[in-house]
Structure 1
Amino acid sequence: MTTYTPPQRTATLADAPAIAALMRASVLELFPRFYDETQTASAAEHIAAIDLRLIEDGTYFVHEADGEIVACGGWSRRNKTHAGAGDAADDERPLDPAIEPARVRAMFVRGDWTRRGLGRAILESCRLAAKAEGFTSLTLTATMPGVPLYLSFGFTEVERVTVTTPDGVDLPGAVMARDVEQPDRIGE
């Protein structure tokens, strides 16, 4: 049986409203498997917050099926690690690819499109693009629903963390990392 993978493309600013809606819908559908009602509501408000800088930088990807965005995610050459914990003074600082990892950011898949390879395809696009810009590693701060995907793509857990959202809600997560040269674990 062949699984249909909708085409991937670089996101544009015109996609922002659809991306924001997808992020929120994904959190509301997938987070309750890992977080309580208060955590899910806070994540829908603060974690599912679109970062237009990723789109402006041309480092954000979407998969579209039947005219609807069903998956999104990207990477950054800037210091910001994740949404949801407020802004840090050095979030916009460009990373040094020789000594710092690129950041994987804002990965969301619509609930009815999970486990079809879309997240993996976006991660591979991120890996290849970061590698082309001289980065040797990737890092991310994962919410618990994303950990299985990232592990399957070759990320390792560096440490467990708690992200405190601006409304004071704590969300358990994990900082994860991988080398850009590391082979994909698919088929192992």
Structure 2
Amino acid sequence: MRLATITDISQIETLMRVSGTELFPRFYTTEQAASAAIYLTEPDVTLVNDGTYFVHEVHKEIVACGGWSKRNKLYTGSGAQEDDGRMLDPATEPARVRAMFVRADWTRRGLAKQILDGCVQAARTEGFRSLSLMATLPGVPLYRSYGFEETRKTMVRMPDGVQLEGVEMTYEL
């Protein structure tokens, strides 16, 4: 595992799209899966620039990615909000876990857990006391097994108007 660089963006985008296209249809309707595969699979360059985004690379191919953020944006696809770039206060606000994707043929090997371990360690180092995230349904089992607790279920509206179920979750550091 290593920190992502700007030169990784193309591979990260491909991984996100392939992973989303393979996994979303197992949990959502055809319409929801298609919308999620478009709007939830855009790499967030800010995470890479902030040095908070990790990749697992095998034979020069990225097979898993994910990270955390000290900024206010909760998830890709939430639309642009005025305070997305605001730095969070580690003493009073949780850091965000963001954009976790694993290629289908590399699941169940502990790669996502290693990424979460890296997020936990880095967020602790920055003084954060907790993590929060908005999970899509494919990610809920991973986050639960890691120790995240569900805070609420919600319907997430994509920019095209399609809604899909999401689960807000938190993890105390």
Superposition TM-score, scaled by structure 1 size: 0.91
1:3-152 equivalences under 5 Å are 8-152=1-145
Partners of 2:11 and 2:167 lie apart in 1 by 27
Partners of 1:85 and 1:36 lie apart in 2 by 20
CA-based RMSD of the aligned residues comes to 0.5
Given residue 179 of structure 1, which amino acid in structure 2 is its aligned partner? Answer: E
Given residue 71 of structure 2, which amino acid in structure 1 is its aligned partner? Answer: R
Partners of 1:162 and 1:90 lie apart in 2 by 21
Partners of 1:154 and 1:73 lie apart in 2 by 17
Q: Does 2:139 align with 1:154?
A: no
Q: 1:161: how far off? A: 1.0
Runs of 4+ in 1 over 2 A off after TM superposition: none
SS in 2 for 1:26: helix
Q: Does 2:169 align with 1:176?
A: yes
Partners of 1:108 and 1:68 lie apart in 2 by 14
**Aligned counterpart, 1:4:** none
Q: 1:28: how far off? A: 0.4
Q: 1:63: how far off? A: 0.2
* Structure 1 residue runs without a partner (length 5+): 1-7, 181-188
Partners of 2:45 and 2:156 lie apart in 1 by 21
SS in 2 for 1:175: strand
Partners of 1:75 and 1:59 lie apart in 2 by 6
Count the aligned residue pairs.
173
Given residue 71 of structure 1, which amino acid in structure 2 is its aligned partner? Answer: A
Partners of 2:108 and 2:155 lie apart in 1 by 26
Q: 1:171: how far off? A: 1.1
CA shift digits 1:101-127 (9 cap, x unpaired)? 000000000011111101100000000
Partners of 1:30 and 1:79 lie apart in 2 by 27
* Structure 2 residue runs without a partner (length 5+): none
Q: 1:85: how far off? A: 2.2
Percent identity for Structure 1 against Structure 2: 58
Superposition TM-score, scaled by structure 2 size: 0.99
Partners of 1:30 and 1:101 lie apart in 2 by 27
